[in-house]
A and B are shown apart, each in its own frame.
Chain A
Amino acid sequence: MILIINSVNQTASENTSQYNSDLISQQNLVSIVELLEYDFSRIGYCENTDSILSPENMITYADSNKIIFWTDIAVSSSNFRGNGTKEELIYELGPDVNETPNPFDKLLYRYLKGDKKDASNLGITEFKITYFDNLNNKLSHPINTKLISYMQIDLKVEDCYGYDTDNNEKLHSEKFPTVFWKQIRLATKNMSR
């Protein structure tokens, strides 16, 4: 009887943990995606129309996991307009965290140029941007930012802590629930002016 109870308890704990991990990863992914979509839709935007740059100058740096672009950050959470002064916003994938059981999770930094880097660990294991020109040709490294017209963003989020992480018989994906997001999109309406 005790063995049965123990077995039921173990199975229940494992399932609960797995489901919770799935949920946390999914919540993290949605949070990141909503922020990404919000920021990327504002590439090149400035409330002061006289300060708007021409499309080829809106992105100032681009590689596979870092991008710097001009935007006008919202005044507050209740006012989505900018204050009319454009700023350079940076998205950058940092190094491995090394403080969690998941060996691949990294920090995704989002900060204004000149500000301190800051990020929380949301379990991002992949943040990759692929760039395309006007004629849908993939741009090769080093990226000429003036030619960017479209971007593909690949995002992978895994649970940082997982379950039964010491079990060497389990695959990485079994220990750390994973969610993906991929989008091919016009970088921003402001770039197609």
Chain B
Amino acid sequence: MGGKASIFLVLGFSTIILIIGLNMNRVSSSAVDNSSNYYENEIAKEIARSGINLAASNLSRNHSWNPTDKKFNYLGDKNLEISVKESGDIKTVTAIGIFKGVAKTIEVKIKLASFSEYAYFSNVEGDIWWTGTDSVWGPFHTNDNIQVQGHPYFNGPVTSHGGIMKYYTDKATDAPTIQGTYIPGTTINIPTDGITNLSASASKAGHVFTGTSQVFLKFAGDSIKYKFNSGDPYVTVLGSSLAPNGVIYVNNGNLRIEGTVKGNWSVGSNKNVYLDNDVVYSKVPNYKDKNDASPDLLGIVSQNDVIITDNTANRSSINVHAAIYCEDGGFTAENYTSRTLSGTIHLIGGITQNQRKGVGTFTADKTKKIPKSGFPYKDYKYDSRLLKKVPPYFPSTNTFKVLSWLE
């Protein structure tokens, strides 16, 4: 009897211990499952992210890249699927990463960027510093280092080629305020064919002036007025008849412009473009509103410089409404080191230039900033519409920008 009881006791205890053991085992397995599921999700996501990077890399080299075989080997056999769809000027890149049966999708919308989107772009900054009285609203890029003194202010995404923020004294004294992202190590080359492409567009359905050393062009509502010598009378034509696609180009001559712009235009020259007087929109946009309905937009494209003429009209400030592009030169003022004090440059638009150039001078003491010549004051306002709108055939950066990223 005692033996039977012992057997029952042993069997009973064994059963209880077995049940407890199984329960512990289940708990441990579930805990490991949790970790591994999270890990598998993350790996699948990382594969998809790699897919987006792979697509971006290929698209940057070949804008029409679209893989015929959409499945790639990545951390496994055919574990990555990439597709590219186009809708107008927007491409949607989709990458699906698969890891151990877990699939994660990332969808990114991208669009070719134009130089007109920049509030400020330079290839070379030279010896000009951003100071405490400077502010830039809108996208900023330089292929040089950003040189700062006395806390300048940047409102918008900032990118630079150099990973160095160059401080005049030290970080504590000079560090800029950047409202928006700052991504160093980004190179965006100014193309060598921006002007050539504009010329080709003007030849197709715009207007090309040839055989003259200069063209005086005046925007006057629906009309375009032009002449070849300052003493000549203007020839007046309907703008849409002169250049149906909105591109006017001067081949081997300087372009001198002024007036009130109505509609979408790009004007340029493979020499210099001079601003002889105000160049303004007929309907001035609210520069802060990227959806502003103003129908007017101007691109000024120059092989060399865009220059504020040293004349009577420009001695008491100047108003410029345009996206400016200087392929080899920069935005500057004629005789800026010696001309009389000329007030303020009121710009609504953006500036892209190969070489940052001066528009005025101050006394040698940078901290006091006593105006000496030219345009000592800059009132540069970024036309937010340029985030969405591009003047006709304005040079492209040949790089894609991300419109939205969805995981």
B368 vs chain A, min Cβ distance (A): 28
Query: Contact at A49–B90, with CB atoms within 8 Å?
Result: yes
**What's the Cα separation between A135 and B182 when bound, in Å?**
8
Query: Contact at B405–A134, with CB atoms within 8 Å?
Result: no
Say which one of A87-95, A153-161, A163-171, A183-191 lies at the interface with B: A183-191
Q: How many A-B residue pairs have CB under 8 A?
A: 101
Please provide the chain B residues from 71 to 104 with a CB less than 8 Å away from any CB of chain A in the complex: 90
Would you call A149 an interface residue if the criterion is a C-beta within 8 Å of the partner chain's C-beta atoms?
yes
User: Among A30, A47, A52, A54, which residue has the most Cβ atoms of chain B within 10 A?
Assistant: A54
Would you call A10 an interface residue if the criterion is a C-beta within 8 Å of the partner chain's C-beta atoms?
no
Would you call B107 an interface residue if the criterion is a C-beta within 8 Å of the partner chain's C-beta atoms?
yes
Query: Contact at B24–A55, with CB atoms within 8 Å?
Result: no
Query: Contact at B34–A26, with CB atoms within 8 Å?
Result: yes
Query: Contact at B27–A23, with CB atoms within 8 Å?
Result: yes
Query: Contact at B31–A26, with CB atoms within 8 Å?
Result: yes
**What's the Cα separation between A52 and B111 when bound, in Å?**
14
**What's the Cα separation between A165 and B155 when bound, in Å?**
54
Q: Which residue of B lies closest to A145 (CB)?
A: B179
Chain A contact residues: over half helix, strand or loop, or mixed? helix
Which A residues are in CB contact (< 8 Å) with B37? Answer: 30
Q: Mark A13-46, 1 if CB is under 8 A from B, else 0.
A: 0011001101100110010011000100110011
Query: Contact at A190–B28, with CB atoms within 8 Å?
Result: no
**What's the Cα separation between A148 and B178 when bound, in Å?**
10
Query: Contact at A45–B405, with CB atoms within 8 Å?
Result: yes
Please provide the chain A residues from 60 to 102 with a CB less than 8 Å away from any CB of chain B in the complex: 80-81
**What's the Cα separation between A26 and B38 when bound, in Å?**
11
Q: Which residue of A lies closest to B182 (CB)?
A: A134
Which A residues are in CB contact (< 8 Å) with B107? Answer: 81
Query: Contact at A192–B181, with CB atoms within 8 Å?
Result: yes
Please provide the chain B residues from 156 to 192 with a CB less than 8 Å away from any CB of chain A in the complex: 156-158, 165, 175, 177-183
Which B residues are in CB contact (< 8 Å) with A193? Answer: 157, 181, 401-403, 405
Question: Given A54-B156, A134-B180, A193-B157, 8 other A-B contacts at CB below 8 A?
Answer: A22-B31, A33-B38, A42-B406, A49-B403, A81-B107, A146-B155, A146-B179, A190-B402
